[in-house]
Amino acid sequence: MIKSSPRKLAPQRRLDSFRKELGALTGLILLCIVMSFASPYFLSLTNLMNVLRQSTLIGIVAAGMTMIIITGGIDLSVGSVLSLSSCLTAGMIIWYGWNVWLSVALGIIIGAVFGLLNGLLITQIPLPPFIATLGIMGVARGLAFVYTGGAPIYTFPKSFRYLGQGMIGPVPFPVILMLIIYVLFYILLKRTKLGRYTYAIGGNEEAAILSGIQVGKFKTVVYALTGALAALAGMILAARLDAATSVAGDGFELDVIAAVVIGGTSLSGGQGGVIGSLIGALIMGVVRNGLNLLLVSSHWQRVILGVIILVAVTVDVLRKRGVFVKSRG
Amino acid sequence: MFSVKRRFFRDLQRDRWAVRYLELQLYGSNLWMGVVSLDQGYVVQMQGITKEFPGVVALNGVDFNLKRGEVHALVGENGAGKSTLIKILSGAYQMDRGEIRINGQKVNISSPRHSQELGISVIYQEFNLVPYLSVAENIFLGRESMSNGVFINNKENRAKAQELLDRLELEISIDDTVADLGVAQQQMVEVAKALSMQASIIVMDEPTSALGNREIEQLFRTIEKMKSEGISIIYISHRLEELWQIADRVTVLRDGQFITTSDMETMDKDQLIKYMVGRDLTEQFPERNVSLGEEILRVENLSKKGVLENISFNLRKGEVVGFAGLVGSGRTELMRCLFGADRFEQGKIYLEGREIEIKSPRDAIGHGIGFITEDRQRQGLMLVRPVKENITVTALDRVISNLLIDHSEERRIAEDLVDKLRIRTPGLEQEVRYLSGGNQQKVVISKWLLEKAKILIFDEPTRGIDVGAKKEVYSLINELVGQGVGVIMVSSELPEILGMSDRIYVMSEGRITGELGSQEATQEKILQYATEE
Ligand SMILES: Nc1ncnc2c1ncn2[C@@H]1O[C@H](COP(=O)(O)OP(=O)(O)OP(=O)(O)O)[C@@H](O)[C@H]1O
Ligand SMILES: [Mg+2]
């Protein structure tokens, strides 16, 4: 027996597993404090609910995007898929008069199919995720234009509008939906095979294959899930605006990716989690809302959001480097 | 004149920038180096070096001195702190306490760049070469000569590269693409690169662990060459036998503590091991009394164009079959085919008498075949994931109930293996990349012990692990064959092949050129088969 026996293993510290999210959370709290001084309306219940509501679209899709980014991939098509599936659903409900929930279900399935397509292109051909999803992004957007002829489809029945405008007590329905999705995805990532393999694939794809993981299958599932979430976000947006348009969700993919990255999930794969992405989405929401309250023009908002992404990622990088180089004496 | 310079220096002590500038100027000139080392005799003096990581004291007051023109071996168990000490010298880590003098002058090595400027160059086990650039381009990457300040002066770069290769007496073409070179040659390119930076101190962290005997010879020739030019070398290795061949002195670390520094000549192997592990270690290859069972695996005429040719062999229950051969003889490729990681064109595989088809690693695992890969960083580990997840990844189903992972069961299983293999880690949640090289290797092994394997393929199982751990891996293999597992062991270390195998196949250029029983096998016979055309 060799002498250097391992010391007793330290028990896992609960806080440790949330260390990564802590940075984003601090950022969010600081932002809220600043905003509450900058604008007296910020802390009002209505406004806070507004912030939450505004965060739901990015938030919901970010849950799936987090998994994709953990596998080391990316999905640029979420904005287009969001638009296409909302237009198709709108067509089914308004033009063909189909049952609302059947149409919604079909819309979500269409989203999943596009995600599946992404996954198959990436795993079977295989194409780099950036290219595959860029292509699908164009295809989905184009189909949305073709289908609608470029004109919005509007005036939904009340039952559909509930998706975007309904309230449960003081809380908007989509917010509840988002929270449920986050609970599910949290469990999915931390407690299921799919989640564990997502980390394994991103951690080292070759090692994952050699460990007997069906990398192609699991990756495809992750893309399909994200496609479904994008479609769901499309429904919520259409319901909120009471209109589905082929231009909806333009540039949305970048907001989603930004939320995930702000939340501490690394683009190099293998690390991260959905809690961070939820916080990231809320940060995006607070900033947008705050800038609106302060009457900052939407043009400047773009600039400021860009800067925030840079700051968030820089802080993350610096913090990580701090772990490697502890400078003293 | 010397004292004048000294005083001049002291007067300038307060002005750090000037000192830094002067240091650079003076260390650049051999004259000054000669003067200082006459005075001190040491090019590197590290004193009381301490470095802590969360949960680990990696180094605790370690002393290390390097003489000019010597090869100084640095040895110790896995996790003893060797790589950490080197990383402090190379500026990759900052020490918590301690003092470093280079050529007698106290320095505070603040970055890898600073370390380079001080003439220190480290050749890590994972090379830092750009695979699709040529040898010459790699050597001068980032420091190319320019003409008119705009264009890279290829002619001059190539000439300078050629000069370096000639100086090292290497037979590598400067225009070869690095990706096409063998591991040993890539290492030589790293050496040339180090010399091109005017390095006077070269550190090699486990340079021979990926090399076969032939390549090691070449490396040693190159080291001798550098030594004769007055370059000092720090040499880390777990292959203790070679130290007497190449090293002048040796320093032993244990558990982050300095144990001793001694001349190689006055040290014998048993004594060295005792210093390393803190007690006597008897008989490297433990006795095994296993009666062989029936045939478990038979491979017939397996061929892959240009790589493998008509490979036939068999394996019995409870048997250890060794695969010897030179680096590049096709052993790993054969194992990858067996495991379904690569495709082959022809050939049949029989498991327990029945023909089976293996199309993917998943199939192989389903048939009870496990594969411990040789390249742990690239193929074996998810570096950014915790120890626990790396261990259970192959057998996740065992800890899943009702679709959910049972975390406490998972921890229990992982903890068992960490104990059993004595993996040194502050916790199960530690990311694998923070483990020392040898402990990473143990994690790779551990993940295959969870599945009830019938056949285990070990590809270079003891690469980079220390003497004590090696013996434990051997005991583990014995334990496995005792349970009826068939073991295939690919290894470039002949003593290990000879000591562990019941039967040995020797490969050369994609063919099996010889089969030897354990009684008849000798190093000479193996080498003879291994070099057969
Ligand atoms: N960046 C880090 N973060 C945390 N712990 C670390 C880090 N680097 C090294 N360690 C720990 O410090 C100790 C010394 O590690 P080091 O890599 O120096 O060992 P070594 O002597 O090189 O071992 P080996 O022979 O296995 O390569 C180990 O316990 C290791 O887990
Ligand atoms: Mg090491």
Are B398 and B450 in contact by the 8 Å Cβ rule? The answer is yes
- CA–centroid distance, B412 to ligand 2, in Å, is 28
Give the pLDDT mean for B200-219: 85
DSSP B72-138: EEEE-STTSSHHHHHHHHTTSS--SEEEEEETTEEE---SHHHHHHTTEEEE-SS----TTSBHHHH
Measured CA to CA, the distance from residue B175 to residue B171 in angstroms comes to: 12
A185-189, A220-224, B20-24: which has the minimum mean pLDDT? Answer: B20-24
- Residue A64, pLDDT > 50, answer yes
Are B418 and B425 in contact by the 8 Å Cβ rule? The answer is yes
Domain-wise residue ranges, chain A: 18-31+41-317
DSSP H stretches of helix in chain A: 19-38, 45-70, 78-90, 100-124, 129-148, 158-165, 173-191, 193-203, 205-210, 215-241, 252-262, 274-293, 298-324
Measured CA to CA, the distance from residue B232 to residue B223 in angstroms comes to: 10
Looking at per-residue pLDDT, the higher value among B24 and B194 belongs to: B194
Measured CA to CA, the distance from residue B224 to residue B230 in angstroms comes to: 10
Give the pLDDT mean for A157-175: 94
Q: Which domains does chain B have, with CATH numbers?
A: 1-38 (no CATH), 39-277 (3.40.50.300), 287-368+454-533 (3.40.50.300), 384-452 (no CATH)
Provide the mean pLDDT of chain A.
89
pLDDT tens digits, A271-313: 999 999 999 999 999 998 999 898 999 889 889 888 888 887 7
The torsion angles phi and psi of A185, rounded to 5 degrees, stand at -70, -30
**Could you tell me if B442 lies within 8 Å of chain A, comparing CB atoms?**
no
What is the separation of C-alpha A285 from the centre of its chain, rounded to a whole number of angstroms?
13
CA distances from A277 to A193, A199, B62, B206, B241 (A): 21, 16, 44, 41, 53
Locate B117 and state its tokens.
């400027």
A190-194, A223-227, B205-209, B523-527: which has the minimum mean pLDDT? Answer: B205-209
Identify the pLDDT of residue A326. Answer: 35
Residue with the smallest CA separation from ligand 1 atom 24 is B78
What's the complex ipTM? 0.85
All residues of chain A having their beta carbon less than 8 Å from the beta carbon of residue B381 are 204, 207
Ligand nearest to the CA of B86: 1
Identify the pLDDT of residue B149. Answer: 74
Measured CA to CA, the distance from residue A119 to residue B132 in angstroms comes to: 30
Identify the pLDDT of residue B39. Answer: 43
- Residue B4, pLDDT > 70, answer no
Identify the pLDDT of residue A321. Answer: 61
Are B440 and B391 in contact by the 8 Å Cβ rule? The answer is no
Looking at per-residue pLDDT, the higher value among B492 and A119 belongs to: A119
The torsion angles phi and psi of B487, rounded to 5 degrees, stand at -120, 130
- Whether B473 is in the pocket of ligand 1, judged by its Cβ within 6 Å, is no
Q: Residue B505: enclosing H or E segment and its boundaries?
A: strand B503-508
- Whether B205 is in the pocket of ligand 1, judged by its Cβ within 6 Å, is no
Locate B345 and state its tokens.
């064109």
- Residue B17, pLDDT > 90, answer no
A 10 A CB-CB count for B95 gives 26
Angle subtended by helix axes A129-148 and A78-90, to nearest 10: 30
- Residue B468, pLDDT > 90, answer no
Are A132 and A158 in contact by the 8 Å Cβ rule? The answer is no
What is the separation of C-alpha B488 from the centre of its chain, rounded to a whole number of angstroms?
21
Read off the DSSP letter of residue B394.
G
CA distances from B277 to A221, B86, B463 (A): 49, 21, 18
Burial class, A19, CB count within 10 angstroms (exposed 0-12 / middle 13-18 / buried 19+): exposed
Pick the CATH number of A18-31+41-317 from 1.10.1160, 1.10.3210, 3.30.70, 1.10.3470: 1.10.3470
Closest CA to A193 of A214, A176, A171, A162: A214
Please confirm whether the linkage preceding B495 is cis (ω < 30° from 0): no
What is the separation of C-alpha A250 from the centre of its chain, rounded to a whole number of angstroms?
15
| Closest residue of chain B to A188, computed from CA coordinates | B404
**Predicted TM-score of the model (pTM):** 0.84
Q: If you average pLDDT over each of A320-324, B119-123, B191-195, B455-459, which comes out highest?
A: B455-459
State the smallest CA–CA distance between residue A315 and chain B in angstroms: 19
Largest CA distance in chain B: 85
State the smallest CA–CA distance between residue B300 and chain A in angstroms: 23
Locate A27 and state its tokens.
């950022």
B17-26, B271-280, B368-377: which has the minimum mean pLDDT? Answer: B17-26
Locate B293 and state its tokens.
């069972």
Measured CA to CA, the distance from residue B97 to residue A283 in angstroms comes to: 41
> Which one of A19, A183, A191, A204 makes the best mutation probe of the B interface by having the most chain B beta carbons within 10 Å?
A204
A 10 A CB-CB count for B265 gives 9
Looking at per-residue pLDDT, the higher value among B209 and A141 belongs to: A141
- Residue A114, pLDDT > 50, answer yes
pLDDT tens digits, B135-175: 998 888 878 877 777 788 888 889 989 988 888 787 888 89
How would residue B362 be classed by pLDDT, with cut points 50, 70 and 90?
A: very high
> CB under 8 Å to A169, separation ≥6 — which residues?
none
Identify the pLDDT of residue B405. Answer: 95
Measured CA to CA, the distance from residue A202 to residue A271 in angstroms comes to: 8
All residues of chain A having their beta carbon less than 8 Å from the beta carbon of residue B55 are 10
- Whether B80 is in the pocket of ligand 1, judged by its Cβ within 6 Å, is yes
How many residue pairs bridge chain A and chain B with CB atoms within 8 Å of each other?
127
Q: If you average pLDDT over each of A70-79, A314-323, B443-452, B465-474, which comes out highest?
A: A70-79
Residue with the smallest CA separation from ligand 1 atom 29 is B79
State the smallest CA–CA distance between residue A177 and chain B in angstroms: 23
Measured CA to CA, the distance from residue B331 to residue A254 in angstroms comes to: 47
